[in-house]
A and B are shown apart, each in its own frame.
Chain A
Amino acid sequence: MTNPAVGAIAFVTLLTIVVGARGIRVARTPDDFMVAARQVPPGINAAAISGEYLSAASFLGIAGLIVSQGLGSLWYSVGYTAGYLVLLLLVAAPLRRFGAYTIPDFADGRLGSKGLRQAATALVLVIGWFYLLPQMKGAGITLQWVLGTPYWVGVVALGVVVSGNIAMGGMKGITFVQCFQYWLKLCAIGIPALVLLIATGHDSARNLQPDRAPVFTRATVLQVSQTTDFTLARPARATVSGLIDQRRYRRQTVPLCACRHVAGAGAQIGFAAGAPVPTSLAMAPSPGVSWDSPLSAAGTDGAHPLASTYGIIIATFFGAVGLPHILVRFYTNPDGEAARRTTLIVVLLLSTFYMFPAVLAVLTRLHAPQLYLAGDSDNVLLALPSLLLPGLPGALLAALVAAGAFAAFLSTSSGLLVSVAGALSHDFMNRGVTSFRWCAIAAGAVATAASLLIGRFSLALLVGWAFAIAASSFCPLLVLGIWWRQLTRAGAAAGIVVGGGACLAAILATMTGAATRGWSAVLLGQPAIWTVPLAFGVMIVTSLLTQRTLPGNVGQVMLRMHLPEALSRQDYRSFPLERARRSAGR
């Protein structure tokens, strides 16, 4: 199969490895990296942050979820952007002024407790691994789509490439690679969206009508790749070749009732224009929530969609603050004021990016509804260009999408694996480069193995869970640590353990299928709605009860976080930005 997508993916991967390998010479130690990176101007820094942040969920997951579940899933893209607004408002400048390099560093420096530091490190591992799973899954389904390889091949390939690259010392502070990855991802989603929008026009808005099952806008032949259960909204006639409902046909016209059917692997079902689009039972939309509703249900019965929507909002709005791989990038700003400017630019860059998944998802709904029947909604974006634009242009667009998707997996998983391996080697092993390398390989292997088990969960859902854990543990730690003098060690430790633990338990219960209906499905499937207030509450109450253990240096620490640079650093004025810019360009 000669496919331009293969070349595009190979190009992106090789480029990342080669530029990463050059980074070994440029930055030998974390200190080198920090000194070099502190001279990065806000525009480049913001693109690097966005490049690392936009993951498989943003690139493939949201569009897939919108197509299958409805417009309510747009809350994920709104929330991923709003997360940076919250970061700007509450933590960006003070955190930069404090100078912490990781969240465990912050916990240790603010409250001076080794036990708290280790609890925070354990949570970094949990969140990092949770966030790595969807990246691996994305690689698996992308290679499955492009090369036709089994799911595990892509997962293992990404795991080997990323952990090998990091173990060899690449991807350490490669600000310019991450910056390039952002623009690549924006082009890889923006160009197909605009080209397909122009190519297809706006002629069949009837699939957007509320409460009406989508119909085929042109005669379409469905290729069933694996045995699939599906239903039809109303009876239709179809031309069938292959096995359907346990009978074998050979290009025969068959009346299909509005009931449940089973199509065998390899079957071809031809529908005329105007026929209803079959809905796969494996990914049927929730009843009770129409496709164009702004609400998103958690359980299979679609109960309590408002609570479930607020769960998504709380998790995504407050989760970005606590992601372990983002904080490092803020250290590369020269001061708190630059950190604010950088974050504001990040909000702009993310806003621009997140308009396009919505466009592509609506185009899919309008023109290619047969993609619903694909067993997995996450590869919708990969399939769309070739369907709407036959021939070479469609293949080239599909290659661009695949390259952008791979850039997303590579950049996010590299950033995460550096954080996870760094946390492991720094706090649980003997520090040093050799230890860091083995930790990178071990952490990558664990993530790869776990990813083989999570095939049935949507990418956006998995990333949303990582955000929920971060929002109910590190978000209260950072927000209260920065703004509240009276936070104590015991309070912080109790808050992150109770909040993060409750959230993790709820998610694991959902993953094992403990609750699929009613309130339990909502509260376990979108746990942030109760675990975030719980974490804040436990942290505040425990701190108030243990005021006698307040750290003695709290005044100095607060001063360091909040004092403007003009006052805190006497040599600040003698360090002009021009000098920094000049040495950055060498």
Chain B
Amino acid sequence: MEETRPAQPQLAQPQLAQPQLAQPQLAQPQLAQRQLVVWRGDQVPVQHDIPGPGDLRDDTNTGRLLIGSLVRAQLGLSLMCLMLALTVTVSFPLVAALVPAIGRTRVAGLPVTLIVLGFAFYPVFLAVGWFYHRQARQLEARFTDLVDPPR
């Protein structure tokens, strides 16, 4: 379904570019043949069944399915990132309680507690946040392309 509609701009470009580029005459017949195949009239009715922004606005079954899939994907991404950050932070007191020697370790004369709690967790938070921000943006871009393909 998706392949047919994006073909339109690809179609128009070679025709427009033709006089400026002054391409060799040899290439023209091949291009013209490919254009005919894409524009076959019997494919046009298919477009009525493509889910679009209208489905979301009218709350049809397809629309609900679409938005449900987006919410689930976003929630999955958020929970994965949350688990990552929580595992790193929450495991530290547990490990320190089970193995007290870890809490007493020194690195360069400083308690390991100071290094971990005072400095080391912040880069982890930033990395998780940056990863999430990028992934969430890509997820939304993919969803937008699926529902409302660029014309």
Q: Which residues of A contact B (CB under 8 A)?
A: 71-72, 74-75, 77-78, 81-82, 85-86, 88-90, 93, 202, 205, 208, 210, 290, 292-295, 305-306, 309-310, 313, 317, 337, 340-341, 343-344, 347-348, 351, 354-355, 358-359, 362, 483, 555-556, 558-559, 562-564, 566-567
- Inter-chain CA distance A90–B110, complex, in Å, is 35
The answer to whether A555 and B64 touch across the interface, beta carbons within 8 angstroms, is: yes
The answer to whether B118 and A355 touch across the interface, beta carbons within 8 angstroms, is: yes
The answer to whether A90 and B143 touch across the interface, beta carbons within 8 angstroms, is: no
A130 to chain B, nearest CB (A): 25
The answer to whether A563 and B109 touch across the interface, beta carbons within 8 angstroms, is: no
Per-residue CB proximity of B60-79 to A under 8 Å, as 1/0?
00001001001100110010
**Chain A residues within 8 Å of B81, by CB:** 89
**Chain B residues within 8 Å of A208, by CB:** 109-111
Per-residue CB proximity of B99-136 to A under 8 Å, as 1/0?
01001100001110110111101110110111011001
The answer to whether A310 and B93 touch across the interface, beta carbons within 8 angstroms, is: yes
- Inter-chain CA distance A559–B137, complex, in Å, is 17
The answer to whether A558 and B67 touch across the interface, beta carbons within 8 angstroms, is: yes
The answer to whether B110 and A81 touch across the interface, beta carbons within 8 angstroms, is: no
- Inter-chain CA distance A403–B65, complex, in Å, is 55
Known: A81-B125, A292-B113. 20 other contacts (CB 8 A): A71-B113, A77-B118, A82-B85, A82-B121, A86-B82, A88-B129, A210-B111, A293-B113, A306-B93, A306-B94, A306-B97, A343-B129, A347-B129, A351-B123, A355-B118, A355-B119, A355-B122, A563-B56, A564-B143, A567-B143
Partner of B92, one of A86, A294, A556: A294
- Closest 6 A/B residue pairs (Cβ): A351-B122, A74-B117, A358-B118, A292-B111, A564-B140, A89-B78
What are 6 A-B pairs with beta-carbon distances under 8 A?
Answer: A72-B113, A85-B85, A88-B132, A208-B111, A555-B64, A566-B148
The answer to whether A556 and B59 touch across the interface, beta carbons within 8 angstroms, is: yes
A202 closest partner in B (C-beta): B109
The answer to whether B118 and A74 touch across the interface, beta carbons within 8 angstroms, is: yes
The answer to whether A347 and B126 touch across the interface, beta carbons within 8 angstroms, is: yes
Interface of B is mostly: helix
The answer to whether A337 and B89 touch across the interface, beta carbons within 8 angstroms, is: no
A464 to chain B, nearest CB (A): 15
B13 to chain A, nearest CB (A): 21
- Inter-chain CA distance A6–B73, complex, in Å, is 55
**Chain A residues within 8 Å of B44, by CB:** none
Partner of A559, one of B56, B85, B89: B56
The answer to whether A85 and B125 touch across the interface, beta carbons within 8 angstroms, is: yes
**Chain A residues within 8 Å of B133, by CB:** 88, 340-341, 344
B98 to chain A, nearest CB (A): 9
**Chain B residues within 8 Å of A317, by CB:** 86
A93 to chain B, nearest CB (A): 7
- Inter-chain CA distance A292–B103, complex, in Å, is 7
**Chain A residues within 8 Å of B123, by CB:** 351
The answer to whether B114 and A292 touch across the interface, beta carbons within 8 angstroms, is: yes
B96 closest partner in A (C-beta): A294
A350 to chain B, nearest CB (A): 8
The answer to whether B113 and A74 touch across the interface, beta carbons within 8 angstroms, is: yes
A350 closest partner in B (C-beta): B122
Judge whether B46 is part of the interface by a CB distance below 8 angstroms: no
A309 closest partner in B (C-beta): B93
**Chain B residues within 8 Å of A309, by CB:** 93
B115 to chain A, nearest CB (A): 10
**Chain B residues within 8 Å of A292, by CB:** 103-104, 111, 113-114
Partner of A85, one of B94, B128, B141, B143: B128
Judge whether B147 is part of the interface by a CB distance below 8 angstroms: yes
**Chain A residues within 8 Å of B109, by CB:** 202, 205, 208
- Inter-chain CA distance A399–B100, complex, in Å, is 41
**Chain B residues within 8 Å of A75, by CB:** 117
The answer to whether B93 and A564 touch across the interface, beta carbons within 8 angstroms, is: no
Judge whether B144 is part of the interface by a CB distance below 8 angstroms: yes
The answer to whether A313 and B97 touch across the interface, beta carbons within 8 angstroms, is: no
**Chain B residues within 8 Å of A85, by CB:** 85, 125, 128-129
- Inter-chain CA distance A388–B71, complex, in Å, is 55
B139 to chain A, nearest CB (A): 9
**Chain A residues within 8 Å of B143, by CB:** 564, 567
Partner of B122, one of A72, A81, A343, A362: A81
A330 to chain B, nearest CB (A): 15
The answer to whether A483 and B71 touch across the interface, beta carbons within 8 angstroms, is: yes
**Chain A residues within 8 Å of B137, by CB:** 337, 340
Judge whether B90 is part of the interface by a CB distance below 8 angstroms: yes
Judge whether B53 is part of the interface by a CB distance below 8 angstroms: yes
The answer to whether A294 and B117 touch across the interface, beta carbons within 8 angstroms, is: yes
- Inter-chain CA distance A317–B88, complex, in Å, is 13
Partner of B90, one of A310, A347, A558: A310
B117 to chain A, nearest CB (A): 4
**Chain B residues within 8 Å of A72, by CB:** 113
